[in-house]
Amino acid sequence: MTARLSHINLFPVKSCAPLTPAEGHVEWRGLRGDRRWMIVDAEGRFLTARKHPRLVLINAQVEGANLRLNAPRMPELELQPAPSGAGLKVRVWRDDVLGRAATDSADAWISRYLGFPARLVYMDEQTERAVDANYARPGDIVSFADGFPLLLISQASLDLLNSKLASPLPMLRFRPNLVVNGTDAHAEDGWRSIRIGNIPFDVVKPCIRCVLTTVDPASGQFDAAGEPLRTLLGYRRTPNGIAFGQNLIPRGTGTLALGDAVEVIA
């Protein structure tokens, strides 16, 4: 059976809900429009659903740099970045990045939703955030994603996990950009280079999982049983932590579509 691309997730705002298009355009920093927006606190430090799980309930529609946001008990918000001169220095993990601030009304909206001062920031084309040099080539860049341009998981990996759980979980718990079917469970662990459609990718690092996987994307609440981490500890623990999925760096650009063949090169 040929492995094929079965699902595409695009997250316009880091830690918020995804779009699930039938096609996605791969750029050097990841899928076009993926995690180009981020929420930060008053000091410019990134905020995620690890500490603020209700972020997963924010839905975004995207047109270029423009966004339309919806969230429970909030009015719809349409926003765009401030003019290019309005730079805002923000921090993602250990990286200091110069983004573009949003409007005051957008900052008021997200502050009201979270209950404390917060801001929205956009990464434009002029901003280049480097990928960890331990895994990348010079010039590799990434969006506001945690560390790498794309994350891939095989459907069989989730199916194996769900066979061990009392209640099955959706793939969205793991927030991959790309889901592949037609493989063995965790086949992706052995890949080093693949081609999806006509686009080559390096498979550079296992994704080490955190408490974010315990956030229910439907309720915006933490899983009371601590799943799936509790079960994954039993069979996916590595010296670096619980591994589930693989991080990718694109070695070409172009359009991916559902049903594209996945070829293992190395």
What is residue 81's predicted lDDT score, i.e. its pLDDT?
84
Sequence length of the chain is 266
**pTM listed for this prediction:** 0.96
What is residue 245's predicted lDDT score, i.e. its pLDDT?
98
What is residue 12's predicted lDDT score, i.e. its pLDDT?
97
Strand partners, 37: 13, 122
Taking the C-alpha atoms of residue 190 and residue 210, their distance in angstroms, rounded to an integer, is 22
Confidence of residue 262 (pLDDT cuts 50, 70, 90): very high
**What is the dotted CATH code of the domain comprising 4-11+131-264?**
2.40.33.20
The 10 Å Cβ neighbour count of residue 238 is 9
What is residue 204's predicted lDDT score, i.e. its pLDDT?
98
Q: Which range (72-86, 142-156, 178-192, 193-207) has the least confidence?
A: 72-86
What is residue 87's predicted lDDT score, i.e. its pLDDT?
83
For β-strands 30-31 and 150-154, DSSP reports them as unpaired
What is residue 138's predicted lDDT score, i.e. its pLDDT?
97
Task: Indicate whether 6 pLDDT > 80.
Answer: yes
For 33-87, the pLDDT digits (tens) are 999 999 999 999 999 999 999 999 999 998 877 899 999 999 999 988 877 666 8
Output the average pLDDT for the chain. Answer: 96
The answer to whether the beta carbons of residues 107 and 41 sit under 8 Å apart is no
What is residue 82's predicted lDDT score, i.e. its pLDDT?
76
**What helix, strand, coil percent values describe the chain, rounded to 5?**
15, 40, 45
What is residue 143's predicted lDDT score, i.e. its pLDDT?
98
The 10 Å Cβ neighbour count of residue 106 is 22
The 10 Å Cβ neighbour count of residue 67 is 23
Percent of the chain at pLDDT > 70 equals: 99
What is residue 65's predicted lDDT score, i.e. its pLDDT?
77
Taking the C-alpha atoms of residue 139 and residue 130, their distance in angstroms, rounded to an integer, is 7
Taking the C-alpha atoms of residue 131 and residue 119, their distance in angstroms, rounded to an integer, is 24
Residue ranges of the chain assigned to CATH 2.40.33.20: 4-11+131-264
What is residue 31's predicted lDDT score, i.e. its pLDDT?
98
What is residue 250's predicted lDDT score, i.e. its pLDDT?
98
Residue type, 63: E
For 106-158, the pLDDT digits (tens) are 999 999 999 999 999 999 999 999 999 999 999 999 999 999 999 999 999 99
The H-or-E segment that residue 232 falls in is helix 229-232
What is residue 85's predicted lDDT score, i.e. its pLDDT?
60
